[in-house]
A = this chain, B = another copy of it.
């Protein structure tokens, strides 16, 4: 058996198109153009690429992109002042402060300073709490992408046993709560789990979010399961030439693809969903802030 490959790139493109449609509706019916402000502190090369992509896709969806690039030496006070300014700016619907921040800045303090109604990364404790309480709020982007791809592959998730490996606050914990809100039975596993392989073998939906290359082997996968691989690990690829590298996930893809019913590739699986979900969150924030009901994106 060979698994269906879940095409995250295509699903993300479809979501971005839906977002663009909603942006057009907001303009036409309410004279509103959603705006996303992205704040980058310092010169981290990966962050710079990521921020540039976000800005490009924001504009492509018909929204306004505000970019704030600050030097590595920016003080926490200056960053907090900028956040306060963006909180107060009526043209800004979403605020994203690119992580990681320089060490001299308290990340938690910055995140908590963002107006929860503009927290399109879904990292503010108010938004984390709303997931627990099952209330509408802004949901973290990568976890939401995982749920969308699982639905894409197997439809209704109710009653499925989901095993989430990894309990980071960015992915593992929120994805567990979102899957529970989809009426899955959810097991949350991690480095302290006893006999992880046999727990994984119970999973109808297996979410790997540990950040360890190819840790989850083919024989940990239940035949026919849906495998969502959140890992993005860069490893040497001498076969491509001297000093070359390639990306692999947290799942041993070549093994798992023979057992699973559906699986996300790396790259091209969960990765592309993150920015698409960020754009969707910006539309949601723009609507909720104006008292308009959220639309299902």
Could you tell me which A residues sit within 8 Å of B by CB distance? 108, 124-135, 137, 158-159, 161, 167, 169, 173-174, 176-177, 180, 183-190, 192-194, 199
Contacts and interface: CB of A to CB of B under 8 A. Distances in A.
A186 B187 contact: yes
Contacts of A126: 125-126, 129
A192 B158 contact: yes
A62 B82 CA distance: 46
Nearest to A116: B125
A169 B133 contact: yes
B185 A199 contact: yes
Given A133-B128, A180-B167, A185 B185 contact: no
B130 A125 contact: yes
A189 B188 CA distance: 12
Contacts of A158: 192
Contact of A173 (B128, B132, B167): B132
Given A159-B192, A185-B189, A185-B199, A129 B134 contact: no
Given A125-B126, A126-B126, A194-B159, A132 B189 contact: no
A188 to B, nearest CB: 5
A291 to B, nearest CB: 15
A207 to B, nearest CB: 14
B131 A132 contact: yes
A129 B124 contact: yes
A141 to B, nearest CB: 16
A125 B199 CA distance: 31
A77 to B, nearest CB: 20
Contacts of A125: 125-126, 129-130, 132-133, 135, 137
A9 to B, nearest CB: 30
Given A126-B126, A161-B194, A193-B159, A108 B135 contact: yes
Contacts of A176: 188
A282 B193 CA distance: 34
Give the residue among A183, A187, A199 with the most B Cβ atoms within 10 A: A187
A194 B188 contact: no
Contacts of A199: 185
A75 to B, nearest CB: 23
A94 B189 CA distance: 35
17 contacts: A125-B125, A125-B132, A126-B129, A127-B129, A128-B128, A129-B129, A132-B132, A132-B173, A133-B173, A159-B193, A159-B194, A161-B193, A161-B194, A180-B188, A185-B188, A185-B192, A186-B188
A182 to B, nearest CB: 10
Nearest to A127: B129
A21 B94 CA distance: 47
Given A128-B128, A132-B131, A135-B108, A185 B194 contact: yes
